[in-house]
Amino acid sequence: MPSIPSAYRADCRGSQSKEPRAAGRRRVARFRIEMNERTLRPGALYSRLRQTAHKLSRLAHVDVRRGGGGLMRDIEALHGELHGIREEIAQLRQRGDAQDARLGQVSATLDRAAAHVRGLNGVFRGDYYQRQQVPTSTEYWSRYNVTLHHQFSSIEDSLRQLEFRNQQYPGYIDLLPVCGKDGMAVLDYGCGPGHDLVGFAHYSRPKRLVGVDISPISLAEAEHRLRFHGAAAELVQVDYGNHDLPFEAASFDYIHCSGVLMCLQDPIWLLREFYRLLKPGGELRLMVYNYDSIWLHLYVAFVVQIENGLYADLPTRVAFTRTTDGEDCPINPPWRPEEMLVLGREAGFEPEFLGAAISLWELHVLPRRHIACLYPNLPSESRAFLMNLRLDATGIPWHNGHRAGIDGCFRFCRSADGNVHPQGLSR
């Protein structure tokens, strides 16, 4: 679940408050304007500094589209140029050459330029179009999780982080609740560092609580966190792609699976395993990224691809995958609600689309929807989506009777008659 777009983190495993990647170009533009407006005294030093500013601007506007390899070479070249200018300034100071009264101003400008170049390694990270070293899912989700490996210090800290997550996505906790599971056997598949495990333990009294994840690091963090709550939970590590879970058939009353199914190459196999594990009348609730969302049709299709020129030669659905959990996340496509319903029926469930939770980030970019529709190169599907939105009294956008948010939530029920659907056990 993306808390803020990965494109707005210099490193998706780092702080959530890093400056926007797209803002790199705006910073460069401002830097260039400052240089052009400054009435610098003629001289080789100023000329070189102006040339460096121009190269910074070109780097942001051109090389990012050429790919990561060329980008990294240009960054190294700029490091060398700035180092040379810095050495020249140092030599002038050593000689006591005071003929240039604005030497300090040049030095300060150089420091800003050097800081910007250092930032480019994070601002424009990797090759956007040819990801040659994509990590495995286990590697990726061990390096990056929804708490960014926050070290919890108390029950209050743990609950505060859970509440913060819920506040980032209005409607989420209502669609995938953690309360009301008293006396149930509950499985949280893809539990990560334990957000919802903590929720189930604190707001319900399940008779059995199980967390499953592919990351040993996240499971260790969940175990540490649960200790603050005095909660007992079985934590099980599984291999990515191995959907034969070590539990008896009809073991669980309720299965929770948030933000996981879209990360699988063939999710039908996991859904069939969930069907096997649920008791008759049991319920699976899951969240996957929603195609019918502000995130896809406004943020990706307009802000990312048109305004910022990133991934402009990729289909919007593909570009979407680079903007949520990190540009090097192995797989995380958006799903249309009807696609998920077909998948649920194929696995033997009685599926229902409950609606979507919307992110605060989507609400942040929402006012740009009309500007987006003025651009002729906005995909016609996205234009129609944005033009047909309806806002409720709180300003939340709705599409086809549901919030137009990124978190599509579903309820898949197993029939209470006890019969196993033939497809539910097929392998």
Per-residue pLDDT of 326-335, as tens digits, reads 888 888 999 9
Q: Is residue 236 part of a domain?
A: yes
CB atoms within 10 A of CB 87: 10
Q: Is residue 68 part of a domain?
A: yes
- Which of 73, 102, 123 is where one domain is finished? 123
Q: Is residue 238 part of a domain?
A: yes
User: How is residue 176 written in tokens?
Assistant: 């995938």
In this structure, the answer to whether residues 213 and 349 fall within a common structural domain is yes
Q: Is residue 2 part of a domain?
A: no
Give the integer Cα–Cα distance in Å for 320 and 135.
Answer: 18
In this structure, the answer to whether residues 200 and 281 fall within a common structural domain is yes
- Which of 123, 143, 165 is where one domain is finished? 123
Q: What residues contact 126, with CB distance under 8 A and at least 6 apart?
A: 68, 327, 328
Least confident of 296-310, 316-330, 331-345: 316-330
The CATH code of the domain that includes 334 is 3.40.50.150
Contact 3, 18 (CB under 8 A): no
Q: What percent of the chain has pLDDT above 70? A: 67
Contact 233, 210 (CB under 8 A): yes
User: How is residue 265 written in tokens?
Assistant: 């190459």
**Of residues 95 and 102, more confidently modeled:** 95
pLDDT given for residue 105 in this prediction: 63
Q: Is residue 145 part of a domain?
A: no
In this structure, the answer to whether residues 194 and 111 fall within a common structural domain is no
In this structure, the answer to whether residues 305 and 418 fall within a common structural domain is yes
In this structure, the answer to whether residues 231 and 319 fall within a common structural domain is yes
In this structure, the answer to whether residues 262 and 326 fall within a common structural domain is yes
**Of residues 266 and 166, more confidently modeled:** 166
pLDDT given for residue 74 in this prediction: 61
pLDDT given for residue 44 in this prediction: 61
Q: Which of the four pLDDT bands, split at 50, 70 and 90, describes residue 47?
A: low
In this structure, the answer to whether residues 110 and 169 fall within a common structural domain is no
In this structure, the answer to whether residues 419 and 357 fall within a common structural domain is yes
Residue 352 has pLDDT above 70, yes or no: yes
Residue 1 has pLDDT above 50, yes or no: yes
Chain mean pLDDT for the chain: 80
Q: Is residue 128 part of a domain?
A: no
- Which of 82, 103, 123 is where one domain is finished? 123
Q: Is residue 17 part of a domain?
A: no
Q: Is residue 113 part of a domain?
A: yes
pLDDT given for residue 349 in this prediction: 98
In this structure, the answer to whether residues 95 and 215 fall within a common structural domain is no
pLDDT given for residue 146 in this prediction: 84
pLDDT digits (tens, 9 = 90+) for 389-408: 999 999 999 999 999 999 99
In this structure, the answer to whether residues 90 and 184 fall within a common structural domain is no
Residue 371 has pLDDT above 70, yes or no: yes
Q: How many residues does the chain have?
A: 427
In this structure, the answer to whether residues 347 and 398 fall within a common structural domain is yes
Q: Is the pTM of this model over 0.75?
A: no
Give the integer Cα–Cα distance in Å for 50 and 40.
Answer: 10
> Which range of residues forms the domain containing residue 364?
155-424
The CATH code of the domain that includes 71 is 1.20.1440
Nearest Cα residue to 75 out of 23, 28, 132, 16: 28
In this structure, the answer to whether residues 160 and 119 fall within a common structural domain is no
Bridge-partner residues for 252, per DSSP?
278
pLDDT digits (tens, 9 = 90+) for 104-161: 666 666 666 655 555 444 333 333 334 446 788 888 888 888 888 888 899 999 999 9
One-letter amino acid for residue 142 of the chain: S
Report the domain count for the chain: 2
